[in-house]
Structure 1
Amino acid sequence: MNPFVVLIVGILILLLLIVKFKMNTFVSLVIVAFLIGIGLGMPLDKIATSVQNGIGAQLGELSIVFGFGAMLGRLVANEGGAYRIAHTLIEKFGKKRLQVAIVLASFIIGIALFFEVGLVLLIPIVFAIASEAGVSVLYLGIPMAAALSVTHGFLPPHPAPTAISASLNANTGKVLLFGIIIAIPTVYIAGPLYTKLARKIVPDGFERRGNLTALGPQKDFKLDETPSFGLSVLTSLFPVVIMALTTIYELTVHGGIKPKNPSLLDGIISFVGSPVVAMTISLLFAMYTMGWGRHRPSKEIMGALEDAVKSIAMLLLVIGGGGALKQVLIDGGVGDSVKTLFTGTALSPLLLGWLIAVVLRVALGSATVAALTAAGLVLPLMQQSGVDPALMVIAIGSGSLALSHVNDAGFWMFREYFDLTIKQTVLTWTVLETLISISGLLGTLILDAIFH
C-alpha cells in the first residue's frame, strides 16, 4: 500500500480510538503503531522490535529528565516558592504593569512546572490579584496562558521540546537559547498585545469572574513563611541555568563544534550540561533549598517526590507510545517517502515540520503526540537539508500548539477556570495558541536565515 495512504488511515484510526471510543492515548498509540507497521508491509517480527525500540529509545533519557523535573517543580510549589515568585513580581511592577508581572511569573514558574500544574497553581493567584486591582480575570489570564504555553512548546525540560530534541539529536542547551530568543516576542504578541484585540472581539468574556471551585481545595500560604524570592527563582531555573551556561561555553570556546581532543574542562562541562546530569544536580539542589534547608523531614520530601511521579506516570507512557509510532514510521519507510516527495521543492523543511505538526495537532489534540510523530516524519528530510536540529525542534514545537480546540485538555481547562462559553474559549484560548504557533514559526525562519 502507498505509505501516505497507510499514514492517513492510521491517523484516522488513532483519532477514532481517542475521540470516539475514549480509549487511553498510550494504548491507542501502540495499537496504531502495530496497524501502520502491518499496512506498510513490515515483517511482523520487526514491527514488535520497532515498537519496543521506539518506546525504549524515547524514554531512556527522558524518564529521568521528566521525572526529576516534575519532582523539582513539586518541591517549589509545595513550599510556596511559586506563590512567592508571583506575589513579589506583582508587588514590584505595580498595578499599571500587572500583565508584565504575570508574564514574568508565569514564564519562571512555567519552566519549572508542567503546563497543567502551572495553570492550576497560578489561577488562584491571578484571580486574587485581579479582584484586588479591579481588573478582569481574563485581562491577566491571557498573558498567563501565553507564557505557560510558550514554555510548554519551546523550552526544555518540558515534554515535547525535550522529546523532539532527543528524536532529532538536537543540542538541548541550544534549543533552550533559541527557544528563549523566540519566546520573548511570541509571549508579547499572544499575551499583552492580543489581550487588547480580544477585549474588542469578546467584550462579554472580560466580564466573567471565573470559576475557582473547578480547582478544588487550595493550599494557603503566608508570604513570610515561604522561601525568599531569589532562592525560589534560582531553584526553579537551576536546570535552565546549567544547560544554558554549558551551551554558551561550547559556542564561544569551540564555535559549537565538538573538539576532537577535548580537555578535562571540556569533558566536565559537557557532562554537567547534559540534561540528565543537569536535572539530577538541580533536583538535589531543590531538595536542599525547598526541603532540608527549611528543616523539612526527609519523609515529607520523599512523599512530595512520590506524588510528583504519580502525576506524570501516564504522560511518560504517552510519550513512549509516541516514540513507538515514530519508530514504526521511520522503519516502515514513511520518513523516506516524505523526503522523496519534497526533494527538490522550494518548501523549507522547517515549514514542512511545522505544517505536519499543525495537522496532527488539529486531528489528535495532544501537542506531545503531534510533535513526536512530526519529528519521525521530517528527520530524513532535515538530515538531507542541513537545517539546524535545534531550530527544527522549535518549528515542530510551535506547530504542535496551533488551533487547540475541543479535543485538547487545555481548551477545557481554560474554559472551565475562566467560566467561558465555547465561542469565547475559541476566540481567546484557540486564537492565542495559534498566534504562538505562527510567531514561533516566523522566529525560527528568521533565525535560520541569520545562522544558515
Structure 2
Amino acid sequence: MSDVAVLASTAGAIVAVVVLIVRCHVNPVISLVLGSLALGLMNRLGFGRTVETITKGFGDIMAEVGLLIAFGVLMGSMLKEMGAIERLVDRLLRVFGPGRLPYSMSLTIGTLLQSIYLDVLLVISAPLARSAARQIGPLGTPRMAASMAIGLECGIVLMVPGVGTLALAALLDVPLGTMLLWGLLLVVPTIVISVAIMTFLFRHGFWDVAGDEIAEPVPAEQVREELRTPVGVGVAGGGAPGVPARGGAELPAGPRGGAAGPRLSACFAPLVVALLLIAGGAVAQAANRENAVVSFFSDPVVALLIGLIGTLVVTRLSLGRSGVDRAVANGFKESGQILILTAVGGSLAAVVAAGGLGDILRHYFEADRFLPLLTVWLVAAVLHVAVGSVTISAITAAGILAPVAPALGVDPVLIALAAGSGSLFCVHVTSNTFWLLQSLLGQTTRGALKTTTFAVSVASVVALLLLLPISALF
C-alpha cells in the first residue's frame, strides 16, 4: 500500500473509534476491537492475519501488565477497606497545616496512592478535602479542588502503579523501574508547579465565590448511591462522553467494625517497599550492579506480589478474614474493565505496527527528536478532548506512535511520558472525575471548569515543557 493509503486508513480507523464511543455510546473495549479489525482489513493484512495480530497484541499486553494491574488494584482495595486514606489525609493536615495541604495532598495522591482505583480514591478523599478547605480560608475550595484534580489525573498516566502508566510502559516496552524513576522525576515538579500556578491565579481574581461555589456539596450518601449504579463507561480517568460515568465505588467510613485500624506506617509500608524494590532494580541496572537476586526481587511482578502479601497480612490482622474477602472481591470487580481496556489497546498498537505506520512516520521525524514528543502529546490531547478518557487517549496515542520510537532512537520512556502528558489536556464534562469533583467539593459547573478542566490542562502543558529538556539527557 502507498504511504497515503496507510495514513488515511489509520486516521479513518481512529476517527471511527472516536465516533463509536462519542456518538454511538459503544463501550470503548468494543470500539477499539472494531477499529483494530477495520484497520487490519484496510491495510490488507487479510482476515486471518488481522485476527491473529489482534489476539497476539491482546495476549502480549496481558502477559506484560495483567498481573501488575491486578496486584495494584487489590492493594488499593485493601487500603480502602482499612480506612487508610482518610487517616493519611488527616495526618497530612496535622503535619503540614492548612496552607501547605494542597501541595502535600496533591503530591501524595499523585505518587503514593496510585494503586487505588481513581473513583474510589476520589470519593474517599473529597469529603476530607472539603473539610480541610474550610480551614484554609476563602480560597480553600478552589485550591483543594484543583490540587486533587491535578494529583489524581497526573498520577494515573505518569506514576507507577497508575493503571495508565502500567499500560503505557507495557505498550512501549519500557522497563517498569525506568518508568517509575523518570515518571517520578516528571510528576513531582509538574504537580508542584501546576498547583503553584493555580494558587497564584486564584489569589488574583480567577475565582468568584458567588458564581463558582455552591453553599453545600452534594451529600456523600447521594453520591454513594449514584456510584452504585454505573452509567456509561466507568474507566479510570474518564467516562462516557456526554454522561457522567460512575465507577461503582463505595464510600467507606473507615475500618469495618469501628476499630481504629493499624498504624498508618504499617498500612503503607508494603506498597512503599514494593516501589523501592522496583526503583532499586532500575538503579542497579543503570549502575551495572545487577545480579540474579537483585533481578528477581526487583522484578515488578515479584515486587508488587511482595507488597500485596504484606498488605494482605496487615489487613487480615486488623480486619480479619471477612475484611480481606471484601477487599479482594471489590478489587476484582474494579480491575476487570481496566485489564480488558489495556489489553485491547495492545491489540490496536499491534495492528498499527503491522500496517507499517512506523516506517512511514520515521521519514517525517528523523531530523528532530523534539518533534515526535510534540506529536505524541498533540495526538493524545486531541484524542482526550474527543473521547473524554485519560486512559483511553494515552493508550491509543502510544499505540499509534509506538512503532516510530525504535527507528528514531528516541527512548520509549519519553514517548510514554509524552502520551501521558498529552492525555491530561482538557478534562471536561465527558469525564466522571469532572462531575465527582464538582459535586463533592461544592462547586458550580463553571467552578469545576476552572479547578478541573483548566487546572489539569495547565499540568498537561507544564509536563510537556518539563519533558522537552529531560529528553536532552537521553
Q: Same fold (TM over 0.5)?
A: yes
Whether 1:159 and 2:167 are equivalent positions in the alignment is no
Task: Look up the equivalent residue of 1:439 and give its one-letter code.
Answer: V
Structure 1 residue aligned with 2:192: 188
1:220 aligns with 253
SS of the equivalent of 2:307 reads helix
Tell me the alpha carbon deviations over residues 382-430 of structure 1, each in whole angstroms, 9 at most, x when there is no partner: 1122222222221111111112223333233333333444433323211
Per-residue CA distance 1:193-230 (angstroms, 9 max, x = gap): 31331452232365334323453274323897022232
Cα offsets for 1:349-396 (capped at 9, x unmatched): 222222222222222222222222222232232112222222222111
Q: After superposition, give the CA deviation of every residue in 1:113-159 in whole Å (9 maximum; x if it has no partner).
A: 13222111110111222245555333212112212222112012112
Counting matched residue pairs gives: 439
Q: 1:300, CA displacement in angstroms?
A: 3.2
Query: What's the counterpart of residue 171 of structure 1?
Result: 175
- Residue in 2 aligned with 1:13? 16
For 2:113, what is the secondary structure of its paired residue? helix
Partner letter of residue 98 of structure 1?
L
Aligned mates of 2:285, 2:402 — CA distance in 1: 24
Task: For 1:345 and 1:193, locate their aligned partners in 2 and report how far apart those are by CA, in whole Å.
Answer: 30
| 2:440 aligned partner | 417
Q: Which of these residues, 298, 301, 307, is aligned with residue 276 of structure 1?
A: 301
1:32 corresponds to 2:35: yes
- How much does 1:8 deviate? 2.1
Superimposed CA distance per residue, residues 39-83 of structure 1 (whole angstroms, 9 cap, x where no aligned partner): 222211111111111111111132211111111001111111112
Aligned partner (choices 34, 59, 62) of residue 59 of structure 1: 62
Distance of 2:224 and 2:172 partners within structure 1: 40
Structure 2 counterpart of 1:226, one-letter code: G
1:108-119 equivalence runs, <5 A:
108-119=111-122
Cα distance, 1:299 vs. partner?
4.1
Q: Is the 8 A contact 1:70 1:113 kept in 2?
A: yes
Q: Which amino acid aligns with 2:218?
A: N
Cα deviation, residue 432, structure 1: 1.5
Decide whether the 8 Å contact of 2:117 with 2:334 is kept in 1.
Answer: no
Q: Which residue number in structure 1 is paired with residue 401 of structure 2?
A: 378
Residues 41 and 341 of structure 1, relative CA distance in 2, 3 Å threshold: farther
CA distance in 2, matches of 1:160, 1:113: 12
Q: What amino acid is aligned across from residue 240 of structure 1 in structure 2?
A: L
Give the counterpart letter for 1:202 in structure 2.
W
Tell me the distance in 1 between the aligned counterparts of 2:368 and 2:141.
Answer: 47
How does 1:18-167 map onto structure 2 within 5 Å? 18-131=21-134, 134-135=137-138, 136-167=140-171
TM-score calculated relative to the size of structure 1: 0.90
Cα-Cα RMSD: 2.3
Counterpart of 1:37, as a letter, is: G
- Does the 8 A contact of 1:114 with 1:152 survive in 2? no
Q: Which has the higher helix share?
A: 1
Secondary structure of the 2:100 match is helix
**Gap change, CA 1:370 and 1:100, over 3 Å in 2:** closer
Q: 1:305 offset after TM fit, Å?
A: 0.8
Instruction: Give yes or no for contact 2:86–2:128 (8 Å, CA) kept in 1.
Output: yes
Q: Give, in angstroms, the shift of residue 186 of structure 1.
A: 0.8
Within 5 Å, which residues of 2 pair with 1:252-291?
A: 252-254=287-289, 266-291=291-316
Q: Is the 8 A contact 1:175 1:391 kept in 2?
A: no
Q: Give the Cα separation in 2 of the matches to 1:328 and 1:408.
A: 28
- Over 3 Å counting, the alpha-carbon distance change for 1:98 and 1:27 in structure 2 is same
2:275 matches 1:250 = no
Asked whether the equivalents of residues 427 and 457 of structure 2 are also in contact (C-alpha less than 8 Å), the reply is yes
- In structure 1, what residue type is equivalent to 2:125? L
Which one-letter code corresponds to 2:145 in the other structure? Answer: G
Unmatched 5+ stretches in structure 1: 255-261
Distance 1:421 1:133, change over 3 A: closer
Is the Cα–Cα contact under 8 Å of residues 160 and 368 in structure 1 kept in the other structure? yes
Counterpart AA for 2:310: F
Which residue does 1:313 correspond to in 2?
336
8 Å contact kept, 1:109–1:118:
no
Give the distance between the partners of 1:48 and 1:11, measured in 2 at CA: 18
Contact 1:176 1:244 in 2 (8 A): yes
- Greater alpha carbon shift after TM alignment, 192-201 vs 424-433: 192-201
TM-score (norm 2): 0.86
Taking the aligned partners of 1:166 and 1:228, their CA distance within structure 2 comes to 34
The separation in 2 between residues aligned to 1:83 and 1:109, in whole angstroms, is 14
Sequence identity (%):
26
Correspondent of 1:210 among 206, 217, 220: 217
Q: Is the 8 A contact 2:126 2:437 kept in 1?
A: no
Distance in 1 (CA, whole Å) between partners of 2:74 and 2:370 is 42
Aligned 1:405-444 pairs, distance under 5 A? 405-444=428-467
Contact 1:326/1:376 (8 A) holds in 2: yes
> Which amino acid in structure 2 is aligned with residue 16 of structure 1?
V
In structure 1, C-alpha distance between the alignment counterparts of 2:408 and 2:415, rounded to whole Å: 11
Determine the C-alpha separation between the residues in 1 that align with 2:377 and 2:385: 12
The 2-side partners of 1:367 and 1:97 are apart by 27
- Distance across 1 between alignment mates of 2:187 and 2:150: 10
Decide whether the 8 Å contact of 2:72 with 2:115 is kept in 1. Answer: yes
Structure 1's 337 and 344: CA in aligned 2 closer, same or farther, altered over 3 A?
same
